[in-house]
Amino acid sequence: MVRAGAGWGKDDPLVSTVRPFGQGGGPATASTSRPAGSMRTKERHVYNMKKTSAQKAESPSQLINAKIKELGDWRGKTLSRLRAMIKKADPEVVEEWKWRKPSNPGVQVWSHQGPICTGETYTSVVKLTFFKGASLKDPSRLFNSSLEGSTRRAIDFHEDDEIDEKAFTTLIRAAVSLNESSSR
């Protein structure tokens, strides 16, 4: 029972209670104490929102597969190729799907002892943002976006861009090494 104010007793009709998930038919719900048999709970509103194919899949890998398929154009092909190169550069990479909310289906993240980079798609660009990009050496100058930040750096890939696989692989491995050295 939650006390609503100083001097209020447990039998006071204005004292609120909170029941945890599983007790009372759903997630934690608040109700007003009432005489036995007249307990009412707040209604839980469920909205029927159309889900994209990326939201229907379950595992992060399935979500990324669905996102690539859903794009169905050069962005999907580019994201798929970058994903394959990341996995080749670091076979122990972990695929994650983070920051999902009603207004955003989420973002793919590749990690190895900490996050390496995110993969996002926009109308005219596929963007990989490296979490610790400012700390990475980039002699091939792959980073071409978010250069003013003190921590992150990004690479914007456009439709007709060539991908320097050797330089990209080196950058991924450097990000993994940085994460490994930071986690010790």
- pLDDT score of 178 more than 50: yes
Kindly state the average pLDDT of the residues 144-162: 94
pLDDT at 83 (0 to 100):
93
DSSP string, 18-52: EE-TTSSSSS-EEEE--STT---BPPPP---PPPP
pLDDT in tens, 90-137: 999 999 989 888 887 889 999 999 999 999 999 999 999 999 999 999
74 three-class SS: helix
pLDDT at 67 (0 to 100):
86
d(CA 144, CA 119): 15
Q: What is the DSSP letter of 151?
A: S
pLDDT in tens, 49-86: 445 554 554 788 888 888 888 888 999 999 999 999 99
